[in-house]
Chain A
């Protein structure tokens, strides 16, 4: 039996070249993983029939055109998405998705692993060939790092080879080593290893490790070129690139060149669509470099909502991202500070709204991810931020005023101002008249007395001076981030 026979029986076209792949050395490397069409008994764990049975029993019913290729981890399978047999030619460019056998959020089911079945199985084989050496090498580098830096409390310079490890819920999902190399003014990455695990979204380890890698490349200056170790561009990273529609290693097999690095950096930096639109406009106007912007978000110098607010409401974004105007040019400085203060307060409020406090319901306080997915929209011409939150009392309400109650719509309109003016009070009144939603002015804690009593108010826990200190830290991080 071949893949073609099995697919034909199911009315599907098998990916071109898959049967031939079984004859290669790469297939030998996947001996213990690849679902093979020539093993006929359903009782054999590596037979295709057995894999089809697994799919059939999965918590979410899969589409009928999936061809199982190999397990991704203990609870998901990589499947080629085959075309239905209609007389057309078979193609190698058959996408591969990850099918979870257990119940998962619909968003994570069927995520793209690769754009070609052959490229996928080959890259997994290459990855496994590299892995044994990689694990030994990272262990050697970690021992050396421990001896030279960690045990002596020395801070490594950018050119020192620094091992990094990414773990999620105590499971290591990424290992790598980074070192800036002045001979080509870029980052050398001798080891890069990742894996998929059941509790993480597809390619999340690659996204996290490549984000760390590119932030390190940015921090150390240089051209953003990344050169990999003796096995060349890591297969997992190439596969990740393909899943994002970015071809990596096109100029040289073991090199991520500055153009590819920029494209990858932008693709892996999470941005809501509105922020993305603003980022594109800012880049189009030559205001910011993509690398600085991605670094600012991932480092994070500014959080997503803070940066979104700054891009939406300030014409001074370039200066703010580069560390702000000199302090003694007070006029420019105040305009930048006011935007940054508003952004910072909005960021704090967002984190408060987006986090469910589990202390009241659990025996102890949990520090697991408790985000509830609050969304926001920023009105550019007024600087008003509208949150879509759950109904109930808004946090940070001033006890001496009327309680700000989020209604059934869940909408909360916030006017963040560190130095509120009568124009802002009028804006709050107008919003109250025109919407039935909750409206509030958000000010620093020591500005309560300034705001007239009829204006609905949320009080940021920090005072103006404390907010300014936090902003000074952000400005300084922008100034010395790349050093």
Chain B
């Protein structure tokens, strides 16, 4: 394996201004990226392409005989965010690693850092030799149920392990779980139980991405619908069931914003943040009963109900949700109400 080293290139004055400008634009792109919805990589790509030009200019300077210094790679520097260069206005971000580089910066030069993995030599292999790959997954055998019942049995087994904090299985794995089973099982395990403390259980999707922990065993739930005058009907996602458009007051989430190829944990996060905001706004003027007509997108269901639980923990009795599940031929059937007092 070749060796990773850090090259610090002192740029010639004639391109320093241009590079500072590129670095500022890259920095601004990074700041804008943090404000974008999770998974939107537009500004990330902008940052990368701007930095790509900085790197090319640094390499050209290096080839042109500009002063440079090479030091070994230090893993602790990896957490430094933003453009990897040093000049006086940006010096506070990272301390120059050597006296020479500090002197160059003091003299007003711009120094670009390149972490290059191709220096000749033998590096230590990463990982732990002898550790071995992760064990193959264990098989799941249902107690005899088939179809939806078998799915429910497996999911509730995982939820039981999760609230008990049993080993690696202490997580909610909603991928592939049907709409009804996911919603109803989550509701059942969100109910407070006398013997069991609240458990904030990580949510892990099958692509390996994670959502925020889901607060299980956290709410005193009631099965009856509240007597409220304000009832609103929502489709959980727009476009998915257009026949509902005449029935509902609106769509809770916009399909175009949610259904994008990205890690599931990020979609969950977008749904969670959107739902939390909307729940707060909706309940500002008194309690609301929501009839939620659901589609089977797991990230939308988990994100929405996590937001609901967090909202109810803060403002109990402000909202109740009756889930409606899609059945064959366009019909919807109601599920158990989510209500806490």
List the A residue with the shortest CB-CB distance to B5.
Answer: A423
List the A residue with the shortest CB-CB distance to B6.
Answer: A331
Chain B contacts of A186 at CB under 8 A?
Answer: 139-140
Min CB–CB distance A22 → chain B (angstroms): 39
**Cα separation A334 to B55 with both chains bound (whole Å):** 9
Min CB–CB distance A317 → chain B (angstroms): 7
Residue A29 lies at the interface, judged by CB distance under 8 Å to chain B:
no
> Could you say which of A220, A261, A315 contacts B126, with CB atoms under 8 Å apart?
A315
**Cα separation A287 to B132 with both chains bound (whole Å):** 8
Using an 8 Å CB-CB cutoff, how does the interface string of B1-37 with A read, 1 for contact, 0 for none? 1101011000000000000000000000010010000
Residue A429 lies at the interface, judged by CB distance under 8 Å to chain B:
no
Output the residue of A186, A222, A449 with the most chain B CB within 10 A: A222
B116 near A335 with CB under 8 A, answer yes
Residue A167 lies at the interface, judged by CB distance under 8 Å to chain B:
no
For window 362-420 of A, CB contacts with B under 8 Å fall at 380-383, 417, 419-420
Output the residue of A257, A284, A342 with the most chain B CB within 10 A: A284
Min CB–CB distance B172 → chain A (angstroms): 14
Given contact pairs A286-B133, A315-B126, A472 touches B206 in the complex (Cβ within 8 A)? no
**One of A60-68, A125-133, A322-330 at the interface:** A322-330
Residue B167 lies at the interface, judged by CB distance under 8 Å to chain A:
no
Given contact pairs A317-B126, A328-B81, A479-B207, A184 touches B142 in the complex (Cβ within 8 A)? yes
Output the residue of B52, B128, B155 with the most chain A CB within 10 A: B52
B134 near A258 with CB under 8 A, answer no
List the A residue with the shortest CB-CB distance to B206.
Answer: A221
Residue B56 lies at the interface, judged by CB distance under 8 Å to chain A:
yes
A313 near B2 with CB under 8 A, answer yes
> Could you say which of B120, B134, B175 contacts A221, with CB atoms under 8 Å apart?
B175
**Cα separation A330 to B151 with both chains bound (whole Å):** 43
List the B residue with the shortest CB-CB distance to A455.
Answer: B63
> Could you say which of B52, B131, B261 contacts A480, with CB atoms under 8 Å apart?
B261
**Cα separation A334 to B140 with both chains bound (whole Å):** 42
Using an 8 Å CB-CB cutoff, how does the interface string of B190-225 with A read, 1 for contact, 0 for none? 000000000000000111110000000000000000
Chain A contacts of B206 at CB under 8 A?
Answer: 220-222, 482-483
**One of B43-51, B272-280, B284-292 at the interface:** B43-51
Residue A225 lies at the interface, judged by CB distance under 8 Å to chain B:
yes
**Cα separation A317 to B123 with both chains bound (whole Å):** 13
Min CB–CB distance B159 → chain A (angstroms): 14
Chain B contacts of A422 at CB under 8 A?
Answer: 62-63
Residue A100 lies at the interface, judged by CB distance under 8 Å to chain B:
no
**Cα separation A339 to B33 with both chains bound (whole Å):** 25
> Could you say which of A180, A314, A472 contacts B176, with CB atoms under 8 Å apart?
A180
Chain A contacts of B263 at CB under 8 A?
Answer: 479-480, 483
> Could you say which of B56, B78, B118, B208 contacts A329, with CB atoms under 8 Å apart?
B78
Residue B146 lies at the interface, judged by CB distance under 8 Å to chain A:
yes
For window 420-460 of A, CB contacts with B under 8 Å fall at 420-425, 427, 446-447, 449-452
Residue B283 lies at the interface, judged by CB distance under 8 Å to chain A:
no
**Cα separation A221 to B263 with both chains bound (whole Å):** 13
Chain A contacts of B127 at CB under 8 A?
Answer: 282, 285-287, 318
Interface residues on A, range: 35 or more
List the B residue with the shortest CB-CB distance to A317.
Answer: B126
For window 273-294 of A, CB contacts with B under 8 Å fall at 281-290
Which residues of B are in contact with A by a Cβ distance under 8 Å? Answer: 1-2, 4, 6-7, 30, 33, 41, 44-45, 47-49, 51-52, 55-56, 59-60, 62-63, 73, 77-84, 113-134, 136-142, 145-147, 150-151, 153-155, 175-178, 205-209, 261-264
Chain B contacts of A285 at CB under 8 A?
Answer: 125-131
**Cα separation A420 to B235 with both chains bound (whole Å):** 55
Residue A312 lies at the interface, judged by CB distance under 8 Å to chain B:
yes
B56 near A446 with CB under 8 A, answer yes
Chain B contacts of A122 at CB under 8 A?
Answer: none
**Cα separation A220 to B207 with both chains bound (whole Å):** 9
Output the residue of B120, B133, B141 with the most chain A CB within 10 A: B133
Q: A184-B150, A225-B139, A284-B129 are in contact. List 10 more A-B contacts (CB 8 A).
A: A182-B178, A223-B136, A261-B136, A281-B129, A285-B128, A330-B81, A338-B117, A419-B59, A464-B52, A480-B207
Chain B contacts of A283 at CB under 8 A?
Answer: 132-133
Chain B contacts of A314 at CB under 8 A?
Answer: 1, 117
List the A residue with the shortest CB-CB distance to B260.
Answer: A480
A223 near B126 with CB under 8 A, answer no
**Cα separation A425 to B64 with both chains bound (whole Å):** 13
A258 near B117 with CB under 8 A, answer no
List the B residue with the shortest CB-CB distance to A260.
Answer: B136
Residue A183 lies at the interface, judged by CB distance under 8 Å to chain B:
yes
**Cα separation A446 to B145 with both chains bound (whole Å):** 62
List the B residue with the shortest CB-CB distance to A336.
Answer: B117
Output the residue of A220, A221, A222, A468 with the most chain B CB within 10 A: A221
Min CB–CB distance A296 → chain B (angstroms): 13
Chain B contacts of A182 at CB under 8 A?
Answer: 151, 154-155, 176-178
